[in-house]
Amino acid sequence: MLNFSFQNQTRIHFGQGQISAVTNEIPLDAKVLVTYGGGSIKNNGVYDQVVNALKDHTWFEFSGIEPNPKYDTLMKAQAVIKEHGIDYLLAVGGGSVADGTKFIAAAALFEGDDPWDILVKQQKIESALPIGVILTLPATGSETNTNAVVTRDGNKLPFSSPVVRPQFAVLDPAVTLSLSDRQISNGVVDAFIHTMEQYLTYSVNGKVQDRFAEGLLQTLIEEGPKALQPESKDDLEVRANIMWSATMALNGLIGAGVPQDWSTHMIGHELTGSYGIDHARTLSIVLPAVMKVCQKAKHGKLLQYAQRIWQINTGSEDQQIVQAIKMTEDFFQRMGMPIRLSDVKLGEADIDLLLAKLESHGMLELGENKAISLAVSRQILTAAL
Amino acid sequence: MLNFSFQNQTRIHFGQGQISAVTNEIPLDAKVLVTYGGGSIKNNGVYDQVVNALKDHTWFEFSGIEPNPKYDTLMKAQAVIKEHGIDYLLAVGGGSVADGTKFIAAAALFEGDDPWDILVKQQKIESALPIGVILTLPATGSETNTNAVVTRDGNKLPFSSPVVRPQFAVLDPAVTLSLSDRQISNGVVDAFIHTMEQYLTYSVNGKVQDRFAEGLLQTLIEEGPKALQPESKDDLEVRANIMWSATMALNGLIGAGVPQDWSTHMIGHELTGSYGIDHARTLSIVLPAVMKVCQKAKHGKLLQYAQRIWQINTGSEDQQIVQAIKMTEDFFQRMGMPIRLSDVKLGEADIDLLLAKLESHGMLELGENKAISLAVSRQILTAAL
């Protein structure tokens, strides 16, 4: 196990009806800005629950935070914050709303010249407005972690700071019942691949971390498809298990003390940035190719994955691994996800642009061993054709 | 899954050499009281590391906190705190030192008439001195949780409060290399049974919680015996996996959203209180008896435990369960633990006293279903003869 420091102080309120916990989480004298996306929360009852929870608070709202939240959109919130003296942000939505709200919170108290520097220069953030999150789409883990990704002009740029970790997060699985199949699929596969990025590296004999990761993978494999099937899609227990898995997949715990990869995400970001493909759908295309191209470097963990997750115990080690990759692809397809560039109408002609983007974003040494050069990224994208 | 709220804000520094992190964790203007036990930290190098980490701090020390820390001992610290204006406590030791320090921290700022009321009347604590922990014996999870147990006149009394949760905990597996076999055995089995108390109840389909618990049980079963074997007892990876398992076993996570039992602990406390038997050694005696007597109520989880932890898949369900209980007892014995009252020279004649103690402590409805009456506790103790 590697040395590590770990802390996650976000208070979690999990379960049906927990949105009411917001009332006591946000100080009564705070001026609250409720941030959300395209307005689906007005159709599924969540907005009404928020209105009820904040009925004794002073609050305002800022809507229109889009998937892969845009810098220009988020900067518009600054005027609202200044006008009303906002001192608490309540994000109501999925990972994009949470991520966008983190950037809004950081930009509001940013003391540098230009908030853009937070992203483009990775300038350190000293403080941010406090944030609470009501999660409506389990996927990114953003509700309890320190990470966010913001898009500008086709560039997806991440930042991370302890000061933007939410104070609290409400996880009510009932609010996920109104999600579309596509949103559910994206969320389940996003959480699955977050787990894989922290698991599928090389072994440092972190037995707890490995088994926790495997527990999340197994749960997502079992419960994900049920959330799409007519006979079980309204099952709150299925939704609860998916929701808790997605939070645990990226709250820092399973990645503490073990190497991490994240090459699938970095390559995937370029597919979203250049072609607007849903984040999770880029991951389901890239991960199988990473598994194939990095089969040697990841041999030990791939074999463990084959045996523990897919119960593959016959054939040579390499055969077991090949079968496990195939079963991973089958799982993604069962979740309605693309697994090849051709599934999203991209081909060999697009690879040069993607590599140029990777290069321009400094993605020259990806992976747990920093061994994924641009040349290896080309192999990965080629394997994904 | 049951509704829950969860937060654990303790910062963890894990790994060899991490005691130096204390320097930056405790404010330089704090007046620190270092609390510890019988002085083993002076022989294993830990004390010297603490001295070095605090070389620019103002600090004092309070030693002599015994296993199952005594109220009278802990109250003696109050004079030291007042004399020097102590405003930060640094506990250096195992669960007893951490528990005792939590009580010292609470008593120091207690505004009621008598700190004894914290234990005997469960009077609410509004504030406590901040605590840091350098853990030397992985077992109780006290280093990141809100619980403590204090003993007075043969009565073990628990209390719990969010204000006594440590600010930080240092977990350096290297410091556990000097532990005796008995301390290691006690720690591993304590952590194992903490996990079981939160796992072996009835299913609420909490898949993540179940699998996390199972991951801890499997890790402790694999690594525990290695820490006793000559060829592997100096293996830092073994110690690291045990240490991280013990912390995760009782930091609130695996118990969030699922029913909990704790009858083994409550019955075990009377064995320690009346006969001075090591805490963990009471648990290894009581748990198998609880498994046998509560076999019907715990049928589903016992079967899952048999199949997932011990890979028992043949025979009737009841046969599988009986075999799993036997394998649990074998594991405890492999760890050098007693599994019967007779192993610690107790017999049928002692049961009446233990039941009287349980009654006097209000332990009339134990277990996840509150179904363990005094009569059932008698069956359990009889099954443990």
- Of B247, B304, B293, the C-alpha closest to B267 is B293
Asked if residue A297 and residue A340 are part of one domain, the reply reads yes
Give the gap in angstroms from C-alpha A206 to the nearest C-alpha of chain B.
7
Q: Which of residues 190-209 of A touch B (CB under 8 A)?
A: 205-208
Residue B248's closest chain A neighbor by CA? A208
The whole-angstrom separation of Cα A215 and Cα A195 is 10
Q: Evaluate whether A53 touches A22 at the Cβ level (below 8 Å).
A: yes
C-alpha distances (whole Å) from B26 to each of B20, B51, B85, B92 are: 11, 13, 15, 14
Instruction: Mark which residues 13-52 of B lie under 8 Å from A by CB.
Output: 13-18, 21
**Residue A86 touches chain B, beta carbons under 8 Å:** no
Q: How far is CA A361 from each of CA A100, A286, A372, B132, B347, rounded to the nearest angstrom?
A: 20, 18, 14, 41, 72
Test B218 with A211 for CB contact under 8 angstroms: yes
What does the alpha-carbon distance between residue A73 and residue A94 come to, in Å, rounded to a whole number?
A: 16
Most B CBs within 10 Å, among A170, A208, A212, to test the B interface: A208
- Taking contacts as CB-CB distances below 8 angstroms, the residues of chain A near B7 are 9-12
In a domain, B355, yes or no: yes
Q: Are A200 and A267 in contact (CB under 8 A)?
A: no
Axis-axis angle for helices A263-275, A279-293 (nearest 10): 140
Rounded to an integer, what distance in angstroms lies between the CA atom of residue A261 and that of residue A302? Answer: 13
**Are residues B340 and B366 both part of a single domain?**
yes
B130 and B234 share one domain: no
CB contact under 8 A, A1 and B14: yes
In a domain, A6, yes or no: no
Residues from chain A contacting residue B8 (CB–CB below 8 Å): 8-9
Closest-CA residue to B236 (of B177, B187, B185, B192):
B177
Cβ proximity of B74 and B100 under 8 Å: yes
Which stretches of chain A are assigned E, i.e. beta strand? 4-14, 31-35, 58-62, 88-93, 131-135, 147-152, 155-160, 168-171
Set of chain A residues whose Cβ sits within 8 Å of the Cβ of B212: 211-212, 215
For residue B5, is it within any domain? no
Report, in angstroms and rounded to the nearest whole number, the Rg of chain B calculated over CA atoms: 20
For A4, which DSSP code?
A: E
Q: For residue B35, what are the contacts with CB-CB under 8 A and spacing of at least 6?
A: B61, B62, B63, B65, B77, B89, B90, B91, B92, B93, B97, B100, B101, B104
Cα–Cα distance for residue pair B194/A194, rounded to 1 Å: 29
Instruction: Work out the number of other CB atoms within 10 angstroms of the CB of residue A241.
Output: 28
From B122, B150, B174, the end of a domain falls on: B174
Say which amino acid occupies B167: Q
Distance CA B89, CA B36 (A): 11
Residue A127 sits at the chain B interface (C-beta within 8 Å):
no
Residue B166, min C-alpha distance to chain A (Å): 12
Cite the DSSP H helix spans in B179-235.
181-199, 207-226
Phi-psi region of B15 (alpha: psi -120 to 50; beta: other; left: phi over 0): left
Domain residue limits at A81: 11-174
Do B75 and B189 lie in a common domain?
no
Give domain status of residue A2, yes or no: no
Counting one residue from A and one from B, how many pairs have CB atoms under 8 Å apart? 129
A-chain residue closest to B236, CA distance: A1
pTM metric for this prediction: 0.97
Same domain, A108 and A156: yes
Note whether B229 and B125 are same-domain residues: no
What 3-state class would DSSP assign to B241? helix
Task: Outline where DSSP puts E strands in A161-301.
Answer: 168-171
Q: Residues B103, B96: contact at Cβ < 8 Å?
A: no
A165 and A203 assigned to the same domain: no
Closest CA to A255 of A313, A215, A209, A289: A209
Sheet holding B168-171, edge to edge: A58-62, A31-35, A88-93, A131-135, A168-171, A4-14, B4-14, B168-171, B131-135, B88-93, B31-36, B58-62
Residue A270 lies in a domain: yes
Q: How many Cβ atoms are within 10 Å of B45's Cβ, its own excluded?
A: 13
CATH of the domain at B165: 3.40.50.1970
To the nearest 10°, report the CA torsion of A236, A238, A244, A248. Answer: -170
List all residues 6 or more positions away from A55 whose beta carbon is below 8 Å from its beta carbon. Answer: none
Pairwise CB contact (< 8 Å): B1 & A14:
yes
* A3 assigned to some structural domain: no
Rounded to the nearest 10 degrees, how much is the dihedral formed by the CA atoms of A187, A188, A193, A199? 130
The first and second tokens of residue A221, run together, are 């494999």
Q: Do A241 and B1 touch (CB under 8 A)?
A: yes
Give Cα B273 to chain centroid, integer Å.
Answer: 16
Which residues of chain A fall short of a pLDDT of 70? none
- Asked if A11 lies within 8 A of B6 by C-beta distance, the reply is yes
Residuewise pLDDT in 10s, chain B (385 residues)? 999 999 999 999 999 999 999 999 999 999 999 999 998 999 999 999 999 999 999 999 999 999 999 999 999 999 999 999 999 999 999 999 999 999 999 999 999 999 999 999 999 999 999 999 999 999 999 999 999 999 998 788 899 999 999 999 999 999 999 999 999 999 999 999 999 999 999 999 999 999 999 999 999 999 999 999 999 999 999 999 999 999 999 999 999 999 999 999 999 999 999 999 999 999 999 999 999 999 999 999 999 999 999 999 999 999 999 999 999 999 999 999 999 999 999 999 999 999 999 999 999 999 999 999 999 999 999 999 9
pLDDT value at position B216? Answer: 98
Is residue A167 located within the same domain as residue A188? no
The shortest CB-CB distance from A241 to any of B13, B207, B218 is to: B207
Query: How many domains does chain B contain in total?
Result: 2
Look at residues A202, A370, A365, A378 and name the one whose alpha carbon lies nearest to residue A289. A378
Q: How far apart are CA B346 and CA B248, in angstroms?
A: 33
- Tell whether B143 is within 8 A of chain A (Cβ): no
CA-to-CA distance for A51 and A20, rounded, in angstroms?
Answer: 10
CATH number for the domain spanning A191: value is 1.20.1090.10
Tell me, yes or no, whether A364 and A241 share the same domain: yes
Residue A155: what pLDDT?
Answer: 83
Chain A interface includes B214 (CB < 8 A): yes
A336 and A203 fall within a common domain? yes
Q: For residues B186 and B169, state if they share a domain.
A: no
- Ramachandran bin of B262, using left for φ above 0, alpha for ψ from -120 to 50, beta for the remaining angles: left
Q: CA-to-CA distance for A260 and A197, rounded, in angstroms? A: 6
Rounded distance, CA A296 to CA A306, Å? 14
Q: Position of tokens 């036990």?
A: B37
3-class SS shares of chain A: helix, strand, coil, % to 5:
50, 15, 35
Last residue of a domain, one of A149, A174, A199: A174
- Domain for residue B214, yes or no? yes
Quick one: tokens of B145? 């949780």
CB contact (8 A) between residue B3 and residue A15: yes
Q: Does A128 touch chain B (CB under 8 A)?
A: no
Please state the three-class secondary structure of A265-315 as a single string: HHHHHHHHHHHCCCHHHHHHHHHHHHHHHCCCCCHHHHHHHHHHHCCCCCC
State the sign of the Cα–Cα–Cα–Cα dihedral B141, B143, B148, B152. positive
Predicted pLDDT of residue B253 = 98
Which pLDDT score is estimated for A350? Answer: 98
Question: B196 is written with which tokens?
Answer: 């079981």
Q: Which of residues 238-277 of B touch A (CB under 8 A)?
A: 240-241, 244-245, 248, 256-257
* H or E stretch covering B62: strand B58-62
- Cβ atoms of A329 and A344 within 8 Å: the answer is no
d(CA B105, CA B93): 16
Q: How far apart are CA A282 and CA A337, in angstroms?
A: 9
- Please say which residue of B155, B174, B193 terminates a domain: B174
Element (H, E) at B158: strand B155-160
Asked if residue B1 belongs to a domain, the reply is no
User: Which helix (H) or strand (E) element contains residue A185?
Assistant: helix A181-199
Residues A248 and A125 in one domain: no
CB-closest option in B1, B7, B15 to A3: B15
